[in-house]
Structure 1
Amino acid sequence: MKTEKIGSAEFQTWTVEEVAEAWARDEIVLIDVRTPQEYMFEHVEGALLLPMPFFNAHKLPGQKDKQIIFHCGSGVRSEKVSRAAIEAGIDRIAHMEGGFAAWKQARKPYIGTNLATGAPQQVNS
């Protein structure tokens, strides 16, 4: 994990492996900031959808029980959202380096769309 101090806040960049391990232990809330269309086509099972255009850092839940980690397709949007959360006064926030593309490249399980039927299906499980 990489960390960056921004004022009194800590901005964290987690690797796919770190996210996957924490996700498996139910230690984090994973928030996908991609579009609804991207999410519907493929997503990490159980990740929450909060598209970047609708993001409001002041409405995020506290992190007393679980750390919030954002992800997007490549890591660009999730980094922007994470920095916006810090600007809004959240003192510890994180995003996943490389985004969903890195998740897939690491062959982590996700929900994809069966192109023959249009139905959701497990991939890499």
Structure 2
Amino acid sequence: MTIKSAKDLVAAANAEVETLSAEEAVKRLGSPDTVFVDVRESEEVAKTGRIAGAVHVPRGFLEFQADPTSPTHNAELGGERSLVLYCASGNRSALAAKALRDMGIARVAHVQGGFPALKEAGGSVEPS
């Protein structure tokens, strides 16, 4: 069995999920049919804040909070809305978006460059 690197897994995820530029993603901010999901760790969000209106779900809890049968289900992650995930760089969000696709959630994308790119592209930031 060949061990894959994290870089290999991210590349495979990027090949399977929609990747948005920060500029494309910022155009979706405030849309009622789109939910931005910050998958960074709580410590990261506490230091930098998050994109205004984003739901914070740390990467380690994402599948559980997306699963409607889970006791920790987060209703913000359900329904017919598109999910736009971001992290600090675009790697964890790629893996997270692929995991959601694997769960059957079709309308999911992630942001290349993550939080810093969103902020630079004009996404407003709110404290955590």
* TM-score where L is the length of structure 2: 0.70
Structure 1 residues 27 and 15, CA gap change in structure 2 (3 angstroms): farther
Higher helix share: 2
- Unaligned 5+ residue runs, structure 2? 1-13, 69-76
Aligned partner (choices 58, 63, 78) of residue 61 of structure 1: 78
**Contact 1:12–1:92 (Cα < 8 Å) also in 2:** no
* TM-score where L is the length of structure 1: 0.71
Per chain length, whose mean CA-contact separation is higher, i.e. which structure has more relative contact order (CA < 8 Å, sep 6+)? 2
**Contact 1:32–1:48 (Cα < 8 Å) also in 2:** yes
Instruction: Name segments (4+ residues, structure 1) moved above 4 Å.
Output: none
Higher strand share: 1
What is the aligned partner in structure 1 of residue 34 from structure 2?
A: 28
Pair 1:110 & 2:125 matched: yes
Task: Give the CA deviation at 1:5.
Answer: 7.7
Q: Matches of 2:61 and 2:41 in 1, distance apart?
A: 10
